[in-house]
Amino acid sequence: MFTRLLLVPFLLVTAIFLYLALRVDPAYARFIPWPVVAMAGLYVFSPKINWWWYTRYPPDLDAGLRKLVEQAPGFYHRLSATEQLRFRQRVSLFIMGNDFKAQGIKAVPNDVEAVVAASAVTLMFGQKFLVFPKYEHIVIYPHPFPSPQYPERFHISEVYDEDGVLLFSMKHLMHGFFQPDQYFHIGLYEYARVYVRSNAFTRLPQVDETHWPVLERISGFGREAIEKYINLTDIDPLAVAIAHFFVFPEAFEREWPDAFEKMQATFRAPGL
């Protein structure tokens, strides 16, 4: 991290004054607190300093995560080389800017963090903002899970607004990311819900229960199938439509051109 580099000169100065105080003159000890205080300040403010630096000089993904992103079909491959670099940089920043927590596993694997980030970045790629400030906590389970909102249902994804948390079953998240034509993309779906809740004024189309037939024609996923897959009944048709817009753009434009235009006006997604 950037702040670790900033610590180096202060560590050297502290070591020099400590040496002088011990070997030359004890009076040099009076200079030691200043670099120590500076290092303490860097430690306290390191998240903000790192974020300031990396938003100006965003890093690319490492080779392994870059390969993972490139293996997923769809949106990323419709981008130009310059846009693909920007996509990967945004994935890196999203991972830095969010808190990942594991449940039922020792730690969240790096590739799972990247899949969550890539799902969100796909949705936000045409936007200026990089994260959702009220939804910066992601909890990953290895399998379907119950929760305080749905204690009787083992489900695979959820947004818990009260704490600004998104919850995912790792297995189903990865399936939707790599095979979105066969498995409903819960990463896009849940971040679509977050997007709508975070942006009161949008140009999105009106989508309600009457639009399930066209949504099924676009994707092959009917309402009952999605409900059964997620194992919740309060499925949001607008969030489903947003997910389908990114996964099935050709079918979406063909089956529902008016809604497609409004989606494109909102998300400004290149290549769609």
**Single pTM value for the model:** 0.85
Q: Which helix (H) or strand (E) holds 140?
A: strand 137-141
> CA 125 to CA 127: how far, in whole Å?
6
CA dist., res. 207 & res. 215, Å (int): 10
In whole angstroms, give the CA distance from residue 93 to residue 106.
Answer: 23
pLDDT at 6 over 90: no
**How does residue 52 score in pLDDT terms, banded at 50, 70 and 90?**
low
Average of per-residue pLDDT values in the chain: 90
Q: What share of the chain is helix, strand, coil (3-state, %, to 5)?
A: 60, 5, 30
Contact 246, 176 (CB under 8 A): no
Q: Over 80: is that where the pLDDT of 50 sits?
A: no
Percent of the chain topping pLDDT 70: 95
Min mean pLDDT across 14-23, 73-82, 101-110 is at 14-23
What is the C-alpha R_g of the chain?
Answer: 23
Whether 116 shows a pLDDT value over 90: the answer reads yes
Structure tokens at 172: 């189903």
Residue 228, classed as helix, strand or coil, is helix
pLDDT of 265 strictly over 70 = yes
Residue type at 156 in one-letter notation: I
Amino acid code (one letter) for 253: E
- The two tokens of residue 23 are 């070997």
Q: Rounded to whole angstroms, how far apart are CA atoms 74 and 188?
A: 12
| Spatial contact of 173 and 185, defined as CB atoms under 8 Å apart | no
Measured between alpha carbons, how far is 268 from 123 in angstroms, rounded to an integer? 10
Q: Are 219 and 251 in contact (CB under 8 A)?
A: yes
